[in-house]
Structure 1
Amino acid sequence: MSRRIVLWRHGRTEWNAAGRFQGQTDVELDDVGRQQARDSAARLAALEPDLLVTSDLKRTRDTMAMLAALTGAEAELDVRLRETYAGEWQGCTAAEIAMRWPIEYKAWRAGDPLLRVGGGETRQEVADRMKAAVVDAAARLPGDGLAVLTSHGGAARLGIAALIGMPLELFTNIGGLSNCSWSMLREGDDGWILVEHNAGTLPPPVVIEEG
C-alpha cells in the first residue's frame, strides 16, 4: 500500500452559516459544527491514522480534538494549514466584496492565482505552503501509513490542486469541501493521486426492521 493523506475541513461556524469570508479570523465552531466534528471523527477514527496534524486556528483545533480523543493520539499544530489570509475581505459576504472591490472580485472569481486576496495572500502562496505541509507530514509516515490533516475549505482545495499538478487557474474545478468532509490523496509512482473528495456527506443510513 501507499502512504495516504486525508485533508479534513473543520466543522461549521456562525460565519460559515452567514456566508462570511473567514480567512484567518479565529472563529469558533457553532453547535452544528461541534456535532459535525463528533460524527466525522467517529468515521475517520476507523481508518486508524498514524499521524494527526491541524491548523492552529480554533475551528480546526476543536474539530481535530474530537478525533484525537477517539484515537488517543496527540495532534500537532502546523500554521501552514491555515486558510488564506484574506485581508480586508475577512468578515465580508461575497455580495459585499463584489460591491466594494468589483475589479478584484472579478479577478478572484476568474481564478487569478497571483491576486492578493483582500490585500492578503495569493492562491499561489497558499498552494505552496499547503503542499509543503502535506509532503512533510507524508515523509514521517510508514510505507502504508495515513495522516489526517485538519485544514480549511479553500486552502485544502488549493493544496489538492498543487499536489496533483493541476494549474491553479483551474482549481475551482475541484468542488468545494462541505464542513467536516474530507479528501484523500494517495502517493503514486508519479506523484499524488486524488482518490476521494468531499467524502462524509452522505445522509445517515435508513434503519430497516428485520422480520
Structure 2
Amino acid sequence: MSGEKGGRGRRIVLWRHGQTAWNVEGRFQGTTDIELTETGLGQARRAARLLAALKPDAIVASDLKRAADTAAELAAVTGLEVSYDAGLRETYAGVWQGLTHAEIRERYGEQYAAWKRGEPVRRGGGELETEVADRAAPVVEERAAKLPDDGTLVVVSHGGAIRTTIGRLLGLAPDTWEALGGLSNCCWSVLGEGVRGWRLLEHNAGSLPEPVLGDDN
C-alpha cells in the first residue's frame, strides 16, 4: 500500500506526544497529567508540519495535556478541530506513577521483573495492557469508520496506549504486543486498510511514509 491517497484505503496515524520532563527523568507517567517541555513543543511543531502533508481528515487525541498540546500543533497547521477522548489516555500504573525505573525495581522488584518477562501485570495496581486496548482500540475504530474511503485519521496518544491499540487492531495475541518496539517522542506509526484488515505500514517513523516498492506491497 502506498503512502499516497487515491482509492488505496483508509489510514490511521498513531502519533505519540512530545517530550515531557518526566520522560527526561525516566519517571513513569501513566495517567499523570504532565506538560510538554519546550523541546517537546518544538518536536510537536516539526512533526505537525510533516503530518500536515498527509492531508488528514480528522484528529482525535487523549485529553491529557501532553497529547492535547501535541495535537494542537497539527490543528494549527491543518485548520482541523481536535476531538478528545479519555479512552486514549496512557495506561494507569497506580503507585508506579511518578517513580523512576530504578525506584520501581527497588520497591516492586518482583512485579517489575514479571512485567519485563512479558507476563500480564497490573503495574502498580493499575491496568492490564488488554484493558487499555479494550478502551482505546474502539475509539480509534469508531473514528476510522467515519473516514472517507481514502481518508486519514491522526490519533494523538501515548506510547503504551498506542502499542496496545496497534496490537488489537492487527489481531495480534496480547503476549506478542511487546514485539512492537516503543515510539520515540513525537514519532508515529501508520496503519493502512488492506483486504484482510489493518496492516502496519510504518512504525516509529519520523518522516513521511514512502510507497512500498517491491514484491511484498
TM tier, smaller: over 0.9
Give the one of 90, 93, 106 matched to 2:113: 106
Distance 1:197 1:94 in 2: 25
Q: Which whole-Å CA distance do the structure 2 matches of 1:33 and 1:72 have between them?
A: 21
Following superposition of structure 1 onto structure 2, how do residues 1-211 of structure 1 map, counting pairs within 5 Å?
Answer: 1-113=8-120, 115-200=121-206
The total of aligned residue pairs comes to 201
Structure 2: give runs of 5+ residues left out of the alignment. Answer: 1-7, 209-217
Aligned-residue Cα RMSD (Å) equals 1.2
Q: Percent identity over the alignment?
A: 57
| Distance (whole Å) between structure 2 residues aligned to residue 75 and residue 134 of structure 1 | 14
Deviation of 1:112 (Å): 2.1
Residues 75-106 of structure 1, C-alpha deviations (whole Å, 9 max, x = no match) = 00011110000000001111111111112111
Amino acid across the alignment from 1:140? K
Contact 2:18-2:44 within 8 A present in 1 as well: yes
Worse overlay, 190-199 or 7-16: 190-199
Unaligned runs of 5+ in 1: 203-211
Letter in 1 for 2:157: S
Equivalent residue letter for 1:39: R
Q: What's the counterpart of residue 209 of structure 1?
A: none
Q: Look up the equivalent residue of 2:135 and give its one-letter code.
A: R
Q: Partner of 1:29: helix, strand, or coil?
A: coil
Aligned-partner Cα distance in 1 for 2:117–2:141: 28
Give the structure-2-normalised TM-score. Answer: 0.90
Distance apart, 1:173 and its partner CA: 1.1
Moved over 4 A (4+): none
Matches of 2:178 and 2:106, distance apart in 1 = 22
**TM-score w.r.t. length of structure 1:** 0.92
Aligned partners of 1:13 and 1:33 also within 8 Å: yes
- Residue type of the partner of 2:188? W
* SS class of match (1:186): strand
